[in-house]
Amino acid sequence: MSRQEKYVEALNSEGLFENPGHRTRFKELLDCYSQYPFFNSGLCKCMYLSAWDEEHFAIILEVLTELALGRERNTEEMRIQGDALAREHMGGEYYVYQLSNAFLDNREFVMEEGTVLSEEFQHIIGQALRAARLIDQV
């Protein structure tokens, strides 16, 4: 079993895919980009998070295509774009981009004290953090 298949299987066995579309989008990202030199566990975590819905999937797909075409060897350009996107958003969306940046930087994600998020964003962030721990174990 390939490493990519192990990621999908581990996340699937723990019930971390919200629906079949989430699983399919994540698998498509892995299939297309896991062989590039910029792929690492932090990017894999971002793939899981961005595969959550069509909108974020389209954003990461565009960024990864640019990285692949530019023959990038790391995710630094993606990190720069993540900072720009975070500055353009507020609330839960802001923290989703901050979480992605934490994954890319391989650092702990910390929200500001007193932050109040909708149940939807609490769920998304919580699931992504659970998935991240599992990805680190594969």
**pLDDT, tens digit, for every residue of 37-48?**
999 999 999 999
**pLDDT, tens digit, for every residue of 35-86?**
999 999 999 999 999 999 999 999 999 999 999 998 889 999 899 988 899 9
Verdict on whether the full-model pTM lies above 0.75? yes
User: Where exactly are the structural domains of the chain?
Assistant: 3-137
Query: Which residues have a Cβ under 8 Å from the Cβ of 75 and sit 6 or more positions away?
Result: 38, 40, 42, 43, 67, 104
**pLDDT, tens digit, for every residue of 21-33?**
999 999 999 999 9
User: Cα torsion at 30, 91, 110, 7 (round to 10°)?
Assistant: -20
